[in-house]
Amino acid sequence: MITKYVVAKGIILSFYFLLLSIFILINRQELNNILSNDYILMKNVKIDSIYTASHSGNRNGDSHYINFKDSGKKINLLLTENTLVQKQILTNIFYEHTGTIDIVKREKTKSYLPQNTVYFTYDDRFICNVNGKCNFTETYKNKVSNYLIWGALIFAGISYCTYRVYNCRIIESLKGQKFQFKFLDSFKD
């Protein structure tokens, strides 16, 4: 028979491994983005055929997710209004109806997104050479690395707390206690 102790330990471990898998996926994706060198600058991309645009606002500001076509290719671009360049792009697209922007694309990514190409706005995060090859700036890489380090420290704290809860007296006191299903006991007669 399954005891309350086993169920409690199973719930704690399931919750921990769910958090661990989410943490690993996010960190792997971010490291994959900042350590790669295969970014290409696309100048004057036409966006006159926007087929969907969504807007969401939160305490960190507004973000817009724009889907448009360029030479028959679908391009999904997230504008989070973090930089002046992205604010200017939003103004150009929605208010002045300008039809071209500069974006940076990365093909053949190991991404969890449905498409194999990831697009970024060309702003102060990138340095590009004369051939159109781009890479993130060192300051941006350091910023993302700091976020990943803080995330790892926070996850280490979560791991320690999970360990403490897993071995606490309350969970240990459940050893030997069995579940009592009174509803099922009424059918025994």
pLDDT tens for residues 42-96? 888 776 666 666 666 655 566 666 777 666 667 777 666 566 777 777 777 777 6
Do the Cβ atoms of 40 and 23 come closer than 8 Å? no
In a domain, residue 43? The reply is yes
Cα separation, 26 vs 112, in Å, equals 10
pTM, full prediction: 0.68
Position 127 pLDDT exceeds 80: yes
Q: For residue 21, give every residue at least 6 positions away whose Cβ sits within 8 Å of its Cβ, in sequence order, or none.
A: none
Asked, for residue 48, whether it belongs to a domain, the answer is yes
pLDDT single digits (tens) 106-126 = 766 565 555 556 778 888 888
Q: Which domain holds residue 57?
A: 36-138
Number of domains in the chain: 1
- Report in angstroms the alpha-carbon separations of 37 from 57, 92, 97: 32, 29, 33
Domain of 117, CATH number, reads: 2.40.50
